[in-house]
């Protein structure tokens, strides 16, 4: 029989459930994710650092966990980074039995191996309604010992998840892209490497100005974008130049801040695989994968920039683009993993721009 644990919210609400994964206590921001699949990818997405993820899909764990051995060294894995990034996991029904062609272990065993607590047997719909009404809130999974509440928005999480030194992929390829790693998901790197470009992955606060490269990409990442001051300052310099710039999620927020826009915290964020976005100026809608708690305020964008996409659920900004330069960024995840691949074409458009820039400046 699994041990009893509690999910405790900052407002005092305590919900009892059963333990799976590590029997330990942990605190963070409680957020909900309505994706039906993709728990392995979501759990290893560095943007979830500091968060306790409530998955609303009624059954989690039924397709197990693939081999994670390669995670440490390589991007050629089933995961999105080299470890589980969430602080804790909350599910309704945890399936200990699993069946999938690439699964080698149970979700609970994997969480346990990385000391991450899970709680099941709780009403995730009730919790989600609470978070929607009150907004994302702090909470903790309490096992044997109590822990303090913890607000991840006050910490520089990007520094904790970014690489520590420069890493090159496809070294020697003709077209070179600097990728600022604020907690990059592996599939973003894969989306570049499979398109044949060299990726120069640099730490979040690295001065890349002396490197030889043709285009700049800024990754996703955890926490409050306003805390990434060195990155924002580096991007400010890049915005003065002509090299193409592309950013995803935190990357969108950082380019916007560097350009002079502001960001704000959404009430409960967007975390799912079915967020509809509209390409501004058209009637085209794309279904996108999302995971963010902050958004860019596009009511007053700096001169030269306009809104690129808009969220059709709540009207918030889903990206910006420059009116004359090849600079565009999106709040959603064109690399998916998991989720729909409707917008993966944005990688092709960016690389096209980078090639154009390179041949014009050869």
- Residue ranges for the known binding site are 47, 221, 223, 250, 253, 291, 293-294
Closest CA to 234 of 249, 214, 216: 216
Half-sphere exposure for 173 (CA within 13 Å, toward CB): 21
Q: What is the distance between the alpha carbons of residues 90 and 119, in angstroms, rounded to a whole number?
A: 5
User: 104 vs 163, which CB is nearer to ligand GLN?
Assistant: 163
Nearest to 154 by CA among 267, 29, 272, 34: 29
- Residue 250 touching ligand GLN (CB under 6 A): yes
Give the nearest distance from C-beta 329 to ligand GLN in angstroms: 11
Q: Which residue in 50, 215, 223, 319 binds ligand GLN (CB under 6 A)?
A: 223
Residue of 192, 294, 328, 347 that binds ligand GLN (CB under 6 A): 294
The residue assigned the tokens 């130049």 is 241
Residue 292 touches ligand GLN, criterion: CB under 6 A: yes
Active-site residue identified among 228, 249, 273, 317:
249
The 10 Å Cβ neighbour count of residue 268 is 19
Least distance in Å: CB of 32 to ligand GLN?
13
What single string gives the DSSP state of each residue in 40-75? HHHHT-GGGTTEEEEE-SSEESTT-EE--GGGGT-S
Binding-site string for ligand GLN from residue 176 to residue 215, where x marks contact by CB under 6 A and - marks none: ----------------------------------------
The question of whether 171 is a catalytic residue gets the answer no
Q: What is the contact mask toward ligand GLN in residues 47 to 66, using x (rule: CB under 6 A)?
A: x-------------------
Q: Show the tokens assigned to 197.
A: 């470009």
Rank residues 249 and 351 by Cβ distance to ligand GLN and give the closer one: 249
Q: Return the number of the residue (170 or 272) whose C-beta is nearest ligand GLN.
A: 272
76 belongs to the catalytic site: no
Contact 191, 346 (CB under 8 A): no
User: What is the Cα–Cα distance from 143 to 74, expressed in whole angstroms?
Assistant: 34
Strands 285-297 and 262-279, sheet pairing: antiparallel
Structure token pair of residue 147? 């822990």
Is position 319 an interface residue for ligand GLN (rule: CB under 6 A)?
no
Q: Is 238 helix (H, G, I), strand (E, B) or coil?
A: helix
Interface with ligand GLN, residue 221, by CB under 6 A:
yes
Which stretch, 33-41, 218-226, 316-324, 346-354, contacts ligand GLN (CB under 6 A)? 218-226
Residues at the contact surface with ligand GLN, assessed by CB under 6 A: 47, 220-223, 225, 249-250, 291-294
């Amino acid at each position: 029989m699994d041990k009893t644990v509690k999910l405790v919210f900052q407002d005092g609400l305590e919900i009892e459930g059963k333990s799976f994964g590590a029997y330990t206590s942990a605190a963070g921001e409680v957020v909900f994710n309505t994706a039906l699949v993709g728990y392995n990818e979501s759990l290893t997405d560095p943007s979830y650092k500091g968060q306790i993820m409530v998955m609303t899909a009624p059954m989690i764990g039924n397709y197990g966990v693939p081999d994670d051995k390669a995670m440490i060294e390589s991007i050629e894995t089933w995961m999105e980074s080299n470890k589980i990034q969430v602080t804790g996991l909350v599910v309704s029904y945890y399936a200990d039995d699993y069946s999938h062609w690439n699964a080698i272990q149970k979700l609970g065993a994997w969480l346990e191996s990385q000391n991450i607590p899970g709680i099941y047997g709780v009403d995730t719909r009730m919790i989600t309604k609470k978070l929607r009404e009150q907004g994302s809130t702090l909470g903790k999974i309490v096992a044997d010992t109590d822990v303090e509440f913890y607000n991840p928005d006050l910490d520089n999480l990007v520094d904790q998840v970014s690489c520590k030194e420069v890493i090159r992929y496809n070294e020697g390829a003709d077209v070179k892209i600097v990728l600022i790693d604020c907690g990059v998901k592996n599939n973003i790197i894969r989306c570049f490497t499979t398109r044949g470009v060299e990726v120069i992955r640099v730490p979040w606060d690295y001065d890349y100005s002396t490197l030889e490269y043709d285009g700049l990409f800024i990754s996703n990442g955890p926490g409050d974008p306003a805390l990434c001051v060195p990155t924002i300052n580096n991007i400010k310099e890049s915005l003065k130049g002509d090299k193409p710039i592309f950013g995803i999620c935190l990357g969108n927020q950082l380019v916007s801040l560097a350009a002079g826009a502001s960001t704000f915290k959404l009430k409960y964020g967007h975390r799912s695989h079915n967020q509809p976005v509209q390409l501004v100026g058209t009637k085209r809608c794309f279904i996108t994968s999302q995971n963010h708690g902050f958004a860019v305020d596009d009511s007053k964008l700096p001169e030269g920039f306009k809104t690129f996409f808009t969220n059709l659920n709540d009207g918030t900004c889903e990206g910006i683009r420059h009116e004359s330069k090849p600079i565009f960024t999106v709040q959603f995840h064109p690399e998916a993993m998991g989720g729909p691949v409707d917008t993966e074409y944005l990688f092709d458009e960016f690389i096209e721009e980078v090639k154009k820039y390179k041949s014009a400046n050869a």
